[in-house]
Structure 1
Amino acid sequence: MEEEIKFIIDSTKEAMHNALLHLEKKYINIRAGKASPAMVNAVMVDYYGSLTPLSQVANVNTPDGMTITIQPWEKNLIPEIEKGIHQANIGFNPMNNGESIIITVPPLTEERRRDLAKQAKHEAEESKIGVRNDRKNANNDIKDLEISEDMKKNLEIDVQKLTDFHINKIDEIFANKEKEIMTV
């Protein structure tokens, strides 16, 4: 019985932690005004007939806050990389200098910042829903256990504490991302 209780609590903790990790991954793709190599993660390049992620055919760097440089490992891939950037529809216009591709990241408008903040809030809410679902699943598992009602109540309180902790963490992560997005 003790094993089952430990399993329920541990798996709930892990599931809620995974919701935090998922939120942080989603936030990497929401740009906050400064250039980041993650901005071109969605770019796929036709590499000898097969679609390959950009990171597997070139070095992607950010020499400053407004520029992304892409240094292909083979010079003949430059047109394919440019084509991939256009097809990814990420809103960038690549420039080719013969050696590498340079993308200048335009500054965000106030309206675009608000849209990105809304998107970040939506992702945070999705993560909170995931955490609450994890709580619900744990509470259902606890109800199925053959233990005293007092123990069930105590376990539900423990699960609620876990839920509150992770919800607060999500709020904290969102507040930091919102501040990052809204800072000019």
Structure 2
Amino acid sequence: MAAEFDISDIKRRMQGAIASLKHELTGLRTGRASAALLEPVMVECYGQAMPINQVATISVSEARALAVQVWDKNMVGAVDRAIRDANLGLSPTTEGQILRIRIPELNEQRRKELAKIAHKYTEEARVAVRHVRRDGMEILRKLVKDKTISEDDEKRHEAEVQKATDAAIVEVDQALAAKEKEIMQV
């Protein structure tokens, strides 16, 4: 099987790493309420674990509060337990089939911990982007070795890959800067 160089595939893979980073950053709790905060919560119901969004509707009722509307009144206790057991530091209060969750203020130490976690996620995304770059460069070297493309074409394509890499790293850094600003905002 002959390897083929496709810059759009390389850019798509880099965008995948960025999308994954943004998703991970959304899950980091800041002082503000976000429905994404409860995404990782799994609820034990009907004999199996289900994501919370398959048994309830999550909405932001205020800047610092979430409302979880449980569809089946028999599942309210299970959803409450799942949120408490998820180690998010949240304590829901029950009002019929609605669970209200106040998002507590973050202290300075917790803000710094969250910033460190954000940095870790960002570094993982940078590494993923660099892996995609390396894969692209290896394909180009193989194509030159097999005499499928000229060395001039290789240099031109390497420049395209590097430009895509630089753009992806800038986007990763911007995502981190935005999240840090959000975390440190009191």
TM-score, normalization: structure 2?
A: 0.91
- Which of 150, 162, 165 pairs up with 1:163? 165
Matched residue SS, 1:96: strand
For residues 151 and 160 of structure 1, the distance between their equivalents in structure 2, rounded to whole angstroms, comes to 14
Letter paired with 1:63: S
Matched residue type, 2:152: D
1:81-96 → structure 2 map (5 Å cutoff): 81-96=79-94
* TM-fit CA distance, 1:123: 0.9
2:39, 2:63 → 1: CA distance? Answer: 17
Overall identity of the aligned pairs, in % = 37
Q: CA separation in 1, counterparts of 2:29 and 2:114?
A: 8
* CA positional deviation for 1:98: 2.7
**1:108-136 alpha-carbon deviations (Å, 9 max, x no partner):** 11111111111111111111111111111
Deviation at 1:14, TM superposition (A): 0.9
One-letter amino acid of the counterpart of residue 154, structure 1: R
Q: Gaps spanning 5+ residues in structure 2: where? A: none
Any residues of structure 2 matched to 1:71-82 within 5 Å, and which? Answer: 71-82=69-80
CA distance in 2, matches of 1:115, 1:46: 30
Note the aligned Cα RMSD (angstroms). Answer: 1.4
Question: Residue 4 of structure 1 aligns to a residue in which SS?
Answer: coil
3-state SS, counterpart of residue 70 of structure 1: strand
Match of 1:151 in 2: 153
CA separation in 2, counterparts of 1:42 and 1:124? 19
Structure 1 gaps of 5+ residues are none
Match of residue 63 from structure 2:
65
Where does residue 127 of structure 2 map in the other structure?
A: 129
CA contact (8 A) 2:33 2:64 kept: yes
Q: Using a 3 Å threshold, how does the CA distance of structure 1 residues 152 and 99 change in structure 2: closer, same or farther? A: closer
Deviating 4+ runs (over 2 angstroms): none
C-alpha deviation, 1:31, in angstroms: 1.6
Q: Distance between the aligned counterparts of 1:157 and 1:48, measured in 2?
A: 55
Aligned-residue offset at 1:161: 0.8
C-alpha deviation, 1:48, in angstroms: 2.0
